Amino acid sequence: MAKVVCVLYDDPVAGYPKSYARDDIPKLDRYPDGQTLPTPEKIDFRPGELLGCVSGELGLRKFLEAGGHQLVVTSDKDAPGCRLERELPDAEIVISQPFWPAYLTAERIAKAPKLKLAITAGIGSDHVDLQAAMDRGITVTEVTYCNSNSVAEHVVMMILALVRNYIPSYGWVVNKGWNIADCAARSYDLEGMQVGSVAAGRIGLGVLRRLKPFDVKLHYTDRHRLPESVERELGATFHPNVESMIGVCDVVTINCPLHPETEHMFNDKLIGKMKRGAYLVNTARGKICDRDAVARALVSGQLAGYAGDVWFPQPAPKDHPWRTMPHHGMTPHISGTSLSAQARYAAGVREILECWFGGRPIRNEYLIVDKGRLAGTGAHSYSAGNATRGSEEAAKFSR
C-alpha cells in the first residue's frame, strides 16, 4: 500500500467554514474545446466545499484509507526539516498545488527513493524539477484545464482593475473619502486599447475570447499558432515572438508556462521595449518576470501598473518588493483555486489516483512527465530542465 503526502495551504484564519456564501456551484458538462471534465468513479465531497486547505484534504482521506493507503496532509513544506522533508523518504506519491507548492527539487527527489508519482492539484508543474523527475523515472501529472477558465476570468478582472484604477478608488471609500479627482487621475477606458497575450493555450485563448466584447485590438504570440478560423473569429493578430508584440500593446497578459525558456523573460531589457505606460498582468508564474525589474519599471513609470497572483517563491517572503511597489494589483495565488475550480481539480486528482492504483493509463492530457520524458501536455507546453532554483526563499515567509 502507498504512502501519499499531500501538501495544501493553511485553513482560513477563522477556522474551516461551517457554511458557505452559496448553496451550490454551476454544473459544467465539458470544457470549451470538448475535453471532458474529470471522471472519477466517485467523489467524497460536495462541490463548492473548501477542498484545497489542510482540513479539506482534497476530499481524499476516505478513498485512500479504504484502499489501505496512508494519507499525510500538511502545509509545512519549506524550511529545512519541515514536515514534507520528514515524510519524503518513504513517500510513493506527493500531491501539491501551485498556490502552495511543494517544491520537489533535485535534492528533495534524491531524498525520496520510493517516490513514483507527483500530482499537481491544478495546472502548472514547474515546482517539480522536471529534469530530475525524468532522470529518476518519476511520473508527473496535473489536472489540465481544471481551472483554466477560472484564471482567464481573473486576468480580465485584473486588467480592468488596473486600467480603471479600481483598487485605489475602493481605498478612498474605505477611508471615508470622496476623492473623485484622485480616482480619475489614473483611470482610462479599456475600449480601443491594444491587448496582447503571451501564449494562446487554454488560458490565453480564454482571455482573448473574454476580451473581444470590450472592443479592443487583440494580439498574441505562441509557439503553436491558432487556426486561421480562430484568428478571424477574434480579429487577433499573430506575432512570431514576444518582442514583436509587446511594442504595440497597451496591455500585455502573460499566460505561458514557466520552464527554462520563459524564466525571467520579462527583464529590464524586455520591459524597456514595451510602450511607456503599458500594463502588465501575470497570472502564469512569478518567475517569468524579473522581480526587481518590474518594481523598477513601476517606479520609473515605464509600466503604469502590474497585477498578478503569482509570485516566486510561494508563499512570497514578507519583504518581497511586489508587496510594496507602487501601482500594483497583486493578490495571493488565488486565480485558479476558486471553490468552483477546487471541485474540478480535486476530482481530477482522484481520477489520476484511481488510474494509478488500478494500473490503468492516465489521460494523455494529464501527463507532464512519463517514462523518463516529457509526455502529453508536458511535451506540448514545457521544455526539459529545472525552474525550481531559488525556491528555498519560501522559508522566509514564516520567519
Q: Which of 154, 285, 291, 320 is catalytic?
A: 285
For 32, the grid coordinates are: 470549451
- Alpha-carbon distance 378 to 366, whole Å? 8
219 is catalytic: no
Q: Which strands sit side by side in the sheet containing 117-120, from one edge to the other?
A: 70-74, 3-7, 93-96, 117-120, 139-142, 367-370, 373-374
56-87 in b/e form (b: 16+ CB < 10 A) is bbbbbeebbeeeebebebbbbbbbeebbbbeb
Q: Which of 108, 314, 328, 350 is catalytic?
A: 314
- Alpha-carbon distance 265 to 345, whole Å? 29
Q: Which of 97, 131, 147, 165 is catalytic?
A: 147
- Alpha-carbon distance 234 to 48, whole Å? 33
Q: Which of 333, 344, 350, 363 is catalytic?
A: 333
224 is catalytic: no
For 331, the grid coordinates are: 493578490
168 burial type by CB count under 10 A (0-12 exposed, 13-18 middle, 19+ buried): middle
- Alpha-carbon distance 178 to 248, whole Å? 36
3-state class (DSSP) for residue 217: strand
Q: Which amino acid appears at position 59 of this protein?
A: G
For 223, the grid coordinates are: 509557439
314 is catalytic: yes
285 is catalytic: yes
Helix (H) / strand (E) element for 150: namely helix 148-163
- Alpha-carbon distance 215 to 24, whole Å? 33
Q: Which residues are catalytic?
A: 147, 285, 314, 333
